[in-house]
Structure 1
Amino acid sequence: MTPVLPLIKKQFLTTQYNAPEHFQVYTERQIDKIEALKQMSEEQRFEMKVVANVLPFRVNKYVIDNLINWQNVPDDPIFQLVFPQKGMLSDDDYNQMASVLRSTNDRSVILKNANEIRLRLNPHPAEQQSLNVPYEDDEPIEGIQHKYRETVLFFPGQGQVCHSFCSFCFRWAQFIGDKSLRFSNTEAQKLHHYLAKYKSISDLLITGGDPMVMKTDHLSAYLEPLLRPEFDHVQTIRIGTKSLSFWPQRYVSDEDSSQLLLLLERMVKAGKHVAIMAHFNHWQEMSTPIVHEAVSRLRASGVVIRTQSPLLNHINNDPDVWARMWREQVRLGLVPYYMFVERDTGARRYFEVPLARAWEVYREALKRVSGLGRTARGPSMSAGPGKVEIQGISEINGEQVFVLRFLQARNPDWVQRPFFARFDPEATWLDHLKPAFGEEKFFFQDEYDAMRTKQVSPRVYE
């Protein structure tokens, strides 16, 4: 009997998808050229420009034409996902930038004011620059983060942009042109040297931006050397990407899409676990025929597609949305992986949801799916000490509490240890919480503080 995979592969490598779509992108300077926006008032378009001069804006024609229901604008979730909204800035910050734009076209003045506002938006949360970056010979290794012992993040320089930008993005600082805030490295040798040095590293996460904006030749230069024996300990290669949502043509009709699929298949056949960490924020993103085709081709290459998203007000703050999204993902053969809590950066004030509400949405959504959809973990905060999961809200000895645990941590010994915080209906992030039962601090606090002040090293090199 002929194996199924080669049959599928032959089909997707030899069949052209109908009328390959030309990639066309719009940024802040082209907002007025987006035909669909002409249905909106001049004031609404001005509000978009104000916000887009502070937070990065980029959208492509596929998203505009295929994912947004323009009869439901501005409430459409994908419109909210990619187009700037006035509420994404505080009133003071909005008024400052609006006043500048009304008074001058001088880009240097506009940029100066934008940068002032950006620095107030916590551009690098969770100690990304101070604790996550490894050093060699007292010099930081650019483009690498190593927060958890088994997992290294790499930011390839050719992948530090996206097909479209998410308005909630916690990595927005990568896209504003400030090199001091940017993680990036184009030297594959440095990555491979670092991976070879630490045998405790089992997982490499290629991230961005979006690595799938790269040409396959560039991606291959980073990945194929990992098939050498000295990298046998690197068992899993993860690729964090929004391309299945924002440009599924990457796997179907781009000029090197077949080459990309063959690269991924080579990695899988050589024994690596290749995981596409797909960002889907709403079921609408999975509604087009081409995304179904892209998923089929990726799965035929042997990769596993796992899905993740933060819980976002204005976009998916509804258990029905999550349940429908998870059911569709399971139907397509995807693995629901994480529900995150919106990080404390950028436009968080517009998107954040109280932790109590996050738990309610997660629990209600999980009740509405089968066991195969209950692989999604969360709600999880990717905070400074680690990934902290809200396990529930309970009453213990007459006190209402959040039940919490680490799914990942700077010290692996913290993982899976339950701890408790006083219930706070308004809290939206870990640093809003106080220990329960009269405790002065959480069990990890002293060691974490010592890491932050460089008294002890994060335990990632053991």
Structure 2
Amino acid sequence: MQYSAPESGPPAFRAVTTADLEEHTTRAGLAPEQRLRIRAVAAVLGFHTTGYVTDELIDWSDAPDDPIYRLVFPDENMLPAADVTRITDLFRQDAPAERIADTARQVRAGLHADHSPHRGERILPGAYRTDHDRVLVIPSRRPDPEPDDAFWPDLTRWPAGPGRVMAASDVRQLIDHLVAHPEVSGVRLAGADPLALGAPALRRLVEPLLALEQLESVQIDSSALACWPYRLLTDPDADDTLRLFEQVTASGRALTLMAAFSHPRQLCPAPVAGAVDRIRGTGAMVRTRGSLIGSVNDDADAWASLWRTQIRMGMVPYAMTVERLTGTGHRFAVPLARAHDTPASPVSAAPSAGR
């Protein structure tokens, strides 16, 4: 399937952030006190999504019970009630912004004190040895202060805890480490979202790796197909990004885009299929992962539809993960006994740092 842009032209990217919460929670029919408490949660956890998600994926007639709404928007049950009340009271008192921010940092620090995801052995700032033959790299969203490096914001729903990121200037150190460890044959780019980088910044991270004879595979974890498929269709650097993908596969390396999907509705818009076709046209493979999320997709029909549709679109379902019982994960966790019975067919279930 070839994607055809509408006659009106490609849509412009629109970020939806905490500044837009009042508008959207009002649209969802929440009472003023509920909206204020959600604002308090967002002060701690942050809130980022795209106009594409709010305009194309959420069924507002069913909000706040709509599964995509639940997936994207904060919920007061994500934090201890006492902490939510504490920050809500500050908003109600029109407390200074710095005081609210300081209180939010204290609450956030408590969440991550003992629950930061274990990424493996830290070998460099933003780089971890996760397996005998693979290194995980968490790239900075803006490795160098160039205006064309980023076209869209960090779409990570909830913070993943403290940690360093890797700038393009650190890649030389990574190369030196890999040369000293020839058993490492794969590099995985993950973190907030590597495709939140523009093509120039992504190229400065990936291209030097191709000089390593030992390198066999590159994996890029991204939520772009679910949150903003135009990143690989009509964005200013979409073509250059795909040329980089072609360069990786032409070098003989296996390139995988690990796409995150949590609900079958995320696969429905035509731009998703168009973006998948363009990625596959470069020789890259699109694998998919998703979390089992209470009140969002914790039923067999949702997963059967998700996987079957992905297969028809040329993607390869790879893993179902479950929520950690730490941080905000308790709000969406599904008991393992029920998780085992949920899928329509056996899958590999493993703990996830988040969706």
Regarding TM over 0.5, the answer is yes
1:203 to 2:186 alignment:
yes
SS at match of 2:321: strand
Q: Distance in 1 between matches of 2:133 and 2:268?
A: 35
1:306 to 2:276 alignment:
no
SS at match of 2:61: helix
SS at match of 2:165: coil
Question: Which range is displaced more, 156-165 or 308-317?
Answer: 156-165
1:357 to 2:346 alignment:
no
1:379 to 2:314 alignment:
no
Rg larger for: 1
1:153 to 2:136 alignment:
yes
Equivalent residues in 2 for 1:7-18, closer than 5 Å: 18=7
8 Å Cα contact 2:292/2:323 also seen in 1: yes
Q: What letter matches 1:336 in structure 2?
A: P
1:346 to 2:336 alignment:
no
Q: Distance in 2 between matches of 1:166 and 1:214?
A: 13
Q: Distance in 1 between matches of 2:233 and 2:84?
A: 41
Q: Distance in 1 between matches of 2:309 and 2:341?
A: 21
Deviations 1:185-216 (A, max 9, x none): 21222222222221111210111210101111
Equivalent residues in 2 for 1:127-142, closer than 5 Å: 128=118, 132-134=121-123, 141-142=124-125
Query: Match of 2:22?
Result: 32
Query: Match of 2:310?
Result: 329
1:48 to 2:38 alignment:
yes
Q: Distance in 2 between matches of 1:291 and 1:84?
A: 25
8 Å Cα contact 2:28/2:63 also seen in 1: no
Equivalent residues in 2 for 1:73-112, closer than 5 Å: 73-112=63-102
Query: Match of 1:264?
Result: 245
SS at match of 2:112: coil
Query: Match of 1:418?
Result: none
Q: What letter matches 1:62 in structure 2?
A: Y
| Residue 112 (structure 2) aligned to one of 117, 122, 144 | 122
Q: Size of the alignment, in residue pairs?
A: 343
Give structure 1 stretches of 5+ with no counterpart. Answer: 1-7, 135-140, 175-180, 367-373, 384-462
Query: Match of 2:147?
Result: none
Q: Distance in 1 between matches of 2:238 and 2:113?
A: 34
SS at match of 1:333: coil
Q: Distance in 2 between matches of 1:358 and 1:62?
A: 30
Query: Match of 1:445?
Result: none
Equivalent residues in 2 for 1:275-314, closer than 5 Å: 275-314=256-295
Deviation at 1:71, TM superposition (A): 0.9
Deviation at 1:88, TM superposition (A): 1.1
8 Å Cα contact 1:123/1:345 also seen in 2: no
Deviations 1:223-260 (A, max 9, x none): 122222xx122211000000000010011100111111
Two-structure CA RMSD over aligned residues (Å): 2.4
8 Å Cα contact 1:88/1:349 also seen in 2: yes
8 Å Cα contact 2:27/2:60 also seen in 1: no
Q: CA 1:332/1:159 → structure 2, altered by over 3 Å: closer, same or farther?
A: farther
SS at match of 2:45: coil
Q: Distance in 2 between matches of 1:329 and 1:71?
A: 27
SS at match of 2:348: strand
Q: What letter matches 1:74 in structure 2?
A: P
Deviations 1:279-337 (A, max 9, x none): 00111111101111111111111110111111111111111111110011111011111
Query: Match of 1:23?
Result: 13
Deviation at 1:49, TM superposition (A): 0.4
Q: What letter matches 2:16 in structure 1?
A: Y
8 Å Cα contact 2:121/2:130 also seen in 1: yes
Deviations 1:376-411 (A, max 9, x none): x4221259xxxxxxxxxxxxxxxxxxxxxxxxxxxx
Q: Distance in 1 between matches of 2:48 and 2:31?
A: 20
Q: What letter matches 2:110 in structure 1?
A: R
Query: Match of 2:165?
Result: 184
Equivalent residues in 2 for 1:357-436, closer than 5 Å: 357-362=338-343, 365-366=344-345, 377-381=347-351
Q: Distance in 2 between matches of 1:261 and 1:71?
A: 37
8 Å Cα contact 1:17/1:253 also seen in 2: no
1:252 to 2:222 alignment:
no
Query: Match of 2:146?
Result: none
8 Å Cα contact 1:163/1:246 also seen in 2: no
8 Å Cα contact 1:150/1:203 also seen in 2: yes
Q: What letter matches 2:271 in structure 1?
A: I
Give structure 2 stretches of 5+ with no counterpart. Answer: 144-149
Query: Match of 2:298?
Result: 317
- TM-score normalised to the size of structure 2? 0.89
Deviation at 1:124, TM superposition (A): 6.8
8 Å Cα contact 2:142/2:201 also seen in 1: no
Q: What is the aligned-residue identity percentage? A: 30
Q: CA 1:344/1:159 → structure 2, altered by over 3 Å: closer, same or farther?
A: farther
Q: CA 1:200/1:382 → structure 2, altered by over 3 Å: closer, same or farther?
A: farther
Query: Match of 2:208?
Result: 225
Query: Match of 1:443?
Result: none
Deviation at 1:163, TM superposition (A): 4.6
Deviation at 1:118, TM superposition (A): 1.4
SS at match of 1:84: coil
Deviation at 1:32, TM superposition (A): 2.9
